[in-house]
Amino acid sequence: MAKYKVLVVDDEPGIRMGTRRILQNFRVDYPFMDEHIEFEILEAPTGEDAIEIIDREMPDIILLDNKLPGIQGIEVLEYVKKKLYDIVVVMITSYASLELAVKATRDGAYDFIPKPFTPQELRGSLENITKQLFLKRMTQKMNKEGKQIRFQFLSLLSHELKAPLNAIEGYLKIMDEKQFGENIQSYKEMISRSLDRVTGMRSLIMDLLDLTKIESGSPVQNFQPTDLTAVAQISIDTMRPYAIQKDVDVYLNTKESVIMNADSKEIEIIFNNLISNAVKYNKRNGRVDIFIKKGGNTLTITVSDSGIGITDEEKARLFQDFVRIKNQKTKNITGSGLGLSIMKKIVEMYHGDIIVDSIPDQGSTFSIVFPIEN
């Protein structure tokens, strides 16, 4: 439950009392809100008192009479605007002339309630204001959080892009200054490292493109009956040169077609990530086994490897952006650190789960479980 503070500014005690009674047990529910909103009533007989209470209590809503004994309501409104307080001000007045209405609205009053008002009128008006205020604050909050996440992501991204650039630039400078003499052979290792870093950077950019596609809400998702076994085979063919280079055998143990209603491009990203990781973090003469099974209400993709495995501690960090598990065993392996977080986002779009089983030095098994309709 949330509580909004409503400050009633009126020199007539009857109006203040009446407002308190009308709003005391009033609550606003909203279909989109998980919670309902109730009101706490504060009272001020003069504009001067109102300003004091505003500074101290920071109300959410002010019901403001214009005709006050000291400073006028419109001056209280000006004060609120000047201080940039996030308060919704509603003018209550029986002297509601057009001129005042225009001025108050220009100064930021949200609404007018003509006096005298019925309980229904007051409640109706409060309900609208409350919903508007709630939505506005919600939007502000989400914008702020979104910006923060975006900032973190961009910070990490620029770090990840800068590291290979620094490395390549460093090697080029060494070569430019001919620090190891005239013979190009002396620079062979540096050239090969530079090329590795370029490859790493390219795969980061490719992953980023995938991620952008997913995060833009995928308006181009193309759902159709897709044979996962066939997609797995395409992915294996893509990875084959890499697997040969790493001396790892990849087996597709499911031969029959397994059909799922899905976007084949997205399924391919999932397989590419699973298989390339299984090859990448494997041992020489290692193997990768792929199974695709349909049963009951689920469809499960399983990719097992005979690789280096991961610890429980590492497992917890596995799906974060740019996290690459760094240890002695992985130090020569390059990657963007985005693959698994991309895969997780896709799997989530299908309301699926990812299960990771791993024993260090023996291997890991990644299972993707999709719910399906029969």
Determine if 204 is a binding residue for other proteins (CB under 8 A). Answer: no
Determine if 143 is a binding residue for other proteins (CB under 8 A). Answer: no
Between CA 44 and CA 48 the distance in angstroms is 8
Whole-number minimum distance, CB 159 to other proteins, in Å? 6
Residue from the set 102, 138, 142, 163 that interacts with other proteins by CB under 8 A:
163
Q: Which stretch binds other proteins (CB under 8 A): 11-19, 139-147, 155-163, 236-244?
A: 155-163
Determine if 124 is a binding residue for other proteins (CB under 8 A). Answer: no
Residue from the set 132, 139, 158, 199 that interacts with other proteins by CB under 8 A:
158
Determine if 159 is a binding residue for other proteins (CB under 8 A). Answer: yes
Residue from the set 69, 70, 170, 225 that interacts with other proteins by CB under 8 A:
170
For residues 255 and 331, which CB has a smaller minimum distance to other proteins in the complex? 331
For residues 158 and 298, which CB has a smaller minimum distance to other proteins in the complex? 158
Between CA 302 and CA 79 the distance in angstroms is 64
Between CA 305 and CA 284 the distance in angstroms is 12
Q: Which residues contact 203 (CB under 8 A, 6 or more apart)?
A: 334, 335, 336
Beta bridge partners of 289: 251, 304
Determine if 191 is a binding residue for other proteins (CB under 8 A). Answer: no
CA proximity to 54, closest of 12, 6, 20? 6
CA-based angle 287:292:293, to the nearest 5? 135
**Distance, C-alpha 7 to centroid of its chain:** 36
Residue from the set 24, 166, 297, 362 that interacts with other proteins by CB under 8 A:
166
How many residues in total does the chain contain?
A: 374
Between CA 231 and CA 275 the distance in angstroms is 12
Between CA 202 and CA 161 the distance in angstroms is 10
Q: Print the binding letters for residues 325-344 with other proteins: x by CB under 8 A, - otherwise.
A: -xxx--xx------------
Interface residues with other proteins (CB under 8 A) are 155, 158-159, 162-163, 166-167, 170-171, 174, 179, 193, 197, 326-328, 331-332
